[in-house]
Amino acid sequence: DQQVKQNSPSLSVQEGRISILNCDYTNSMFDYFLWYKKYPAEGPTFLISISSIKDKNEDGRFTVFLNKSAKHLSLHIVPSQPGDSAVYFCAASDTGGFKTIFGAGTRLFVKA
Amino acid sequence: GAVVSQHPSRVICKSGTSVKIECRSLDFQATTMFWYRQFPKQSLMLMATSNEGSKATYEQGVEKDKFLINHASLTLSTLTVTSAHPEDSSFYICSAREGQGYNEQFFGPGTRLTVL
**pLDDT tens digit sequence for A1-57:** 678 999 999 999 999 999 999 999 998 889 899 999 998 878 889 899 999 999 999
Phi, psi torsion values for A25, nearest 5 degrees: -135, 160
Q: Which residue of A has its CA nearest to B3?
A: A45
With contact defined as beta carbons under 8 Å apart, do A80 and A68 qualify? no
Q: Residue A40 is which amino acid?
A: P
With contact defined as beta carbons under 8 Å apart, do A22 and A74 qualify? yes
Give me the pLDDT at residue B100, please.
66
Give me the pLDDT at residue A48, please.
94
CA of A18 vs chain B CAs: smallest distance (Å): 24
Give me the pLDDT at residue B101, please.
64
Question: Residue A83: which residues within 8 A CB-CB, separation 6 or more?
Answer: A110
Interior/surface letters B28-64, b for 16+ CB within 10 angstroms, e for the rest: bebbbbbbbbbeeeebbbbbbbbbbeeebebeeebee
Give me the pLDDT at residue A99, please.
77
The yes-or-no verdict on residue B103 having pLDDT over 80 is: no
B25 touches chain A (CB under 8 A): no
Residue B1: its chain A contacts at CB < 8 A? 45-46
Q: Which residue among B45, B49, B108 sits closest to A43, beta carbon to beta carbon?
A: B108
The yes-or-no verdict on residue A98 having pLDDT over 80 is: no
The mean pLDDT of B85-107, rounded to a whole number, is 86
Give me the pLDDT at residue B102, please.
64
> How confident is the prediction for chain B on average, in pLDDT?
90
The angle subtended at Cα B40 by Cα A1 and Cα A80, nearest 5°, is 90
Residue with the larger pLDDT of the pair A19 and B3: A19
Q: Which residue of B has its CA nearest to A42?
A: B109
With contact defined as beta carbons under 8 Å apart, do A103 and A4 qualify? yes
Q: Which residue among A32, A44, A49 sits closest to B107, beta carbon to beta carbon?
A: A44
The mean pLDDT of A66-76, rounded to a whole number, is 97
Q: Do B41 and A9 touch (CB under 8 A)?
A: yes
The yes-or-no verdict on residue B1 having pLDDT over 70 is: no
Which of A44-53, B46-55, B83-92 shows the lowest per-residue confidence on average (mean pLDDT)? Answer: B46-55
